[in-house]
Structure 1
Amino acid sequence: MYLQTVDADGGIQEVIIQIGKPSTAMVELLDDQFRTAFRGTDYLDCLTQVRKQLEHKGRLLCCQGARPNVHPSGQLRQFTNGRQAYVLPSGTHDEAHTTVDIFAPVLPGNVVSLDDQRISVISYWNARHPRNQI
């Protein structure tokens, strides 16, 4: 599958992501003619490794799993081998959680770094559970 990456200046480059079978939790990244394989406990672990490598080069991967408000629960992660995650709602507690494929493409303006995503998820959790701050 082809995905875009975006750099700090808004420059777009395409990369190829090949997703292995669920039993192996492997993702291959073809970037600048180099192929790198990432193995992990699940697909989210693999995606995190891919994103770290790209961020080291100053690029963000334009996929659902890199949105600031996308994060799996432990149970969803286990049941989908890390391939699905929730879009965290911005409204009331009654708002339904939507799930997305973490590798599905999104527009460049919708993604953040791993650190910024972590901060966003922690802020979401702290706002929803003020007595259980993390």
Structure 2
Amino acid sequence: MVDMDSRFEQDRSSDSDLPQPQWTEEIGLQTVDPDGRVQPVTIYVGQPSAAVVALLDGGSLTEISGTDYLDCLSQARRQLERDGRLLCCQGARPDVHPSGQLRQFTNGRQAYVRFPDARGEVRATVDILDPASPEDVVSLDDQRAAVIRAWNAQHPGSQI
């Protein structure tokens, strides 16, 4: 956890020689709980060369680093889900998932929107950190199950 007031300090002095992330974006999002209560959260995005985000939730700032932005988002979502809340972003929709190539080229920031009957057609992409409606998002486990169902429906001979 990092003190909320220090979130924009660059290259803070500390015992560590590691440089502190520089936040390049501030994204206002919402979370929703099972009762439909909506709460604001903020995601701070680090420089594109590094996969680091910070989640500001109720005055508490948590820095999250990962292999790419999708990994960071998954960690933030898992943290919120432990509190019974879903993050309302495009990356939490059941019909959004990146290919390995798109994930590599965008550092995990873009993902495809699956259309059930659109085999072989060019697919739309979304920024996984863009806002989404509370009724459009699911948990990480439900999203994974939806991706597996879609894959199995399109590739009946090679079930995963």
| TM category, shorter | over 0.9
Instruction: Provide the aligned length of Structure 1 versus Structure 2.
Output: 134
Secondary structure of the structure 1 residue equivalent to 2:91:
helix
Measure, in 2, the Cα distance between the counterparts of 1:80 and 1:5. 25
- The aligned counterpart of 1:129 is 155
- The aligned counterpart of 1:81 is 107
**Percentage identity across paired residues of the two chains:** 63
Q: 2:57 aligned to 31, 41, 65, which one? A: 31
Task: For structure 1, list consecutive stretches of 5 or more residues without a partner in the other structure.
Answer: none
- The aligned counterpart of 2:3 is none
Secondary structure of the structure 1 residue equivalent to 2:122:
coil
Point out the structure with max Rg over C-alpha. Answer: 2
Q: Which amino acid aligns with 1:16?
A: T
TM-score when scaled to structure 2?
Answer: 0.82
- The aligned counterpart of 2:84 is 58
Cα deviation 1:60-96 (Å, max 9, x = unaligned): 0000000001000000000000000000111131333
Q: Which amino acid aligns with 1:45?
A: D
Measure, in 2, the Cα distance between the counterparts of 1:75 and 1:109. 29
Q: Is the 8 A contact 1:89 1:96 kept in 2?
A: no
**RMSD (Å) for aligned C-alpha atoms:** 0.7
Deviation at 1:23, TM superposition (A): 1.2
Task: For structure 2, list consecutive stretches of 5 or more residues without a partner in the other structure.
Answer: 1-26
- Is 1:40 aligned to 2:36, yes or no? no
Larger helix percent = 1
Cα deviation 1:18-75 (Å, max 9, x = unaligned): 0101211001000011000000000000000000000000000000000001000000
Secondary structure of the structure 1 residue equivalent to 2:157:
helix
**Dislocated runs of 4+, deviation >6 Å:** none
TM-score when scaled to structure 1?
Answer: 0.98
Q: Which amino acid aligns with 1:17?
A: I
